């Protein structure tokens, strides 16, 4: 496994949480409301991505959108399903690892999903549907039934 200090992982986790709380604030969802129910952000976030002028986005806009959606998908899994951030070896990554979400599925097996990849797949097949991203991540981790994951 790649050498990742506990403080590196802790900093990543804290940064991702701050990011999603900031997104909620910008979109008019209080941090208290969001903390009680991560789905409270879904309508505002979907409205934002549906209205965003994606055809006018520059690379930095896409990077920001990707990072924001990744933070939300990850935090949703953490709050709703007790998932957690973890580290996965990745020789292709600049640091030799990447941060992933890990959870125990309905079958008792622990699985990992990379929220960056989940968001990337969604962005690659516009229009962006936030609910579909959440369902894809839940299905990958075996947190929901196949029937519940249908868009």
Which pLDDT belongs to residue 150?
46
Which pLDDT belongs to residue 145?
60
CB 19 within 8 A of CB 75: no
Determine if the peptide bond prior to 39 is cis (ω within 30°): no
DSSP notation for 55-108: GG--HHHHHHHHHHHHHHHHHHHHHHH--EEEEEE-TTSTTSEEEEEEEE-TTS
Look up the pTM and report it: 0.91
Which pLDDT belongs to residue 25?
97
Q: Mean pLDDT for each 10-residue chunk of the chain (151 residues)?
A: 79 96 97 96 98 96 97 97 95 91 96 96 94 97 66 45
Which pLDDT belongs to residue 146?
53
Which pLDDT belongs to residue 48?
97
């Amino acid at each position: 496994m790649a050498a990742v200090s506990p403080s590196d992982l802790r900093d990543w986790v804290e940064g991702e949480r701050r990011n999603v709380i900031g997104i909620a604030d910008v979109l008019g969802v209080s941090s208290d409301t969001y903390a009680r129910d991560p789905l409270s952000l879904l309508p505002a976030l979907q409205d934002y991505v549906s209205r965003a002028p994606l055809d006018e986005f520059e690379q930095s806009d896409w990077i920001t959108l990707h990072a924001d959606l990744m933070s939300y998908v990850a935090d949703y899994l953490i709050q709703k399903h007790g998932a957690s951030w973890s580290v996965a070896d990745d020789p292709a990554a600049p640091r030799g690892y990447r941060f992933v979400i890990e959870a125990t599925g309905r079958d008792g097996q622990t699985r990992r999903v990379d929220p960056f990849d989940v968001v990337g797949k969604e962005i690659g097949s516009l229009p962006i549907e936030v609910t579909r991203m959440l369902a894809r991540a839940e299905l990958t981790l075996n947190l929901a039934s196949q029937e519940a994951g249908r868009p």
